[in-house]
Amino acid sequence: MKPLLIGLLFILTFITSSFAQIKDTAYVGVYINAIYDFKIDDKSFMADFWMWVNHRDSSNNFENILEITNSKTASFDHFDKEKKGGGEWVTMKCNAEVVHEWDVSCFPFDRQILRIQIEDSENDTSKMVYVADTVNSKIDSLFDSKEWRLVDFSIKEDVHTYNTTYGNPDLSGTSSYPRVVATIEIKRNNSWVMLGKMLTGAYVAFFISCLVFFVSSENQDSRFGLCVGGLFAAIGNKYIVESVVPSSSTNTLMDNAHNLTFTFILLIVLVIVVSLYLFESGDEKKKQLSLKLDKIAFFSILTAYTVINAWLVYKASS
């Protein structure tokens, strides 16, 4: 009898521990009411949304448990919990300032992938499994932004592993927590209009500099004055653009356009220096060559600048 009792006790212990280790599955969804306050310099945007959790284990309480891991600030209200469909239905509303690294390399033709990461701050993956409610999760159809238009919206479940156990004696090495990630893809509106506004100053500065080829080499001050004026106009335009689009670690379309302008203005200065040298040489042939150089340089530099600039814009917009 003793071996039988020991066997029954072992089986009972095994069954009890197995039930104790059953994970609760939570179906998590979001309905995004609004996204706004797109701040490139502050690397953030604001989001108002409802989120809900459908799960079975009534012992799990989701109040003050969910967190927006990629937010600067987040506030939750309108928390409610009801029994629905044989389980627990938890709802709450969230207002969050979400961190986002703006990719302005193609500005103003940029697309942005905004993400809202919702994570369980208490139950790790040994106790909880998250499943994204893809059917009911949506972004409000009234989403309207003069600056941006919605391209795509999706939500999926994920697991994030941290290189710490946060001091949990039951774990060792790492700890993993379930999360869902809502992804919103947006594209900037009126890109061509904004491009014109941003780079008009640089383009005008370049064309002013090109006018030196129609000024006689006898008027040296006027020639160099036009180039210097064009250069300062381009520099001023760059400062204005950087007040709207902060500089980044990579070259953007705005950087390339301004650098191209600076380079070609410098090239114009070099050409008029050579032209002036030929004009003042006292040799009639060299003087004629100076005039010919001005004409060839005007068309060559204007064509090269236009083609390269068009290629940069095409590459950014495609």
Residue 13, pLDDT score:
46
**Cα distance between residue 294 and residue 314, in whole Å:** 30
Q: Among residues 115, 197, 117, which one has the least CA distance to residue 158?
A: 117
Residue 287, pLDDT score:
81
Q: Which CATH superfamily is domain 192-317 in?
A: Neurotransmitter-gated ion-channel transmembrane domain (1.20.58.390)
Give the predicted TM-score (pTM) of the model: 0.80
Which whole-number Å values give the CA distances from 111 to 114, 122, 146, 259, 283, in the listed order? 10, 35, 15, 23, 58
Q: Where are the alpha helices (DSSP H) in 173-215?
A: 191-210
Residue 151, pLDDT score:
92
Q: Render each residue's pLDDT in the chain as its tens digit; 318 residues.
A: 555 545 544 554 444 444 445 678 999 999 999 999 999 888 999 999 999 999 988 778 888 899 999 999 999 999 999 998 788 999 999 999 999 999 998 999 999 999 999 999 888 888 899 999 999 999 998 877 788 999 999 999 999 999 888 887 877 788 899 999 999 999 999 999 999 999 999 999 999 999 888 887 777 778 888 888 888 999 999 998 988 887 777 889 999 999 999 999 999 999 988 888 888 877 778 888 888 988 999 999 999 999 999 999 999 998
| CB distance 217 to 282 below 8 Å | no
Residue 1, pLDDT score:
54
CA angle (140 as vertex; 138, 145 as ends), nearest 5: 125
**Cα distance between residue 211 and residue 272, in whole Å:** 11
Tokens standing for 127? 């106790």
Q: What is the CATH number of domain 23-189?
A: 2.70.170.10
Residue 114, pLDDT score:
96
- β-partners of residue 131 are 27
Residue 213, pLDDT score:
87
Residue 284, pLDDT score:
78
Radius of gyration of the chain (CA): 32
243-250: list long-range contacts, CB under 8 Å, 24+ apart. Answer: 244/198, 245/40, 245/104, 245/107, 245/198, 246/40, 246/41, 246/104, 248/104, 248/105, 250/105
Range(s) of the chain covered by CATH 2.70.170.10? 23-189
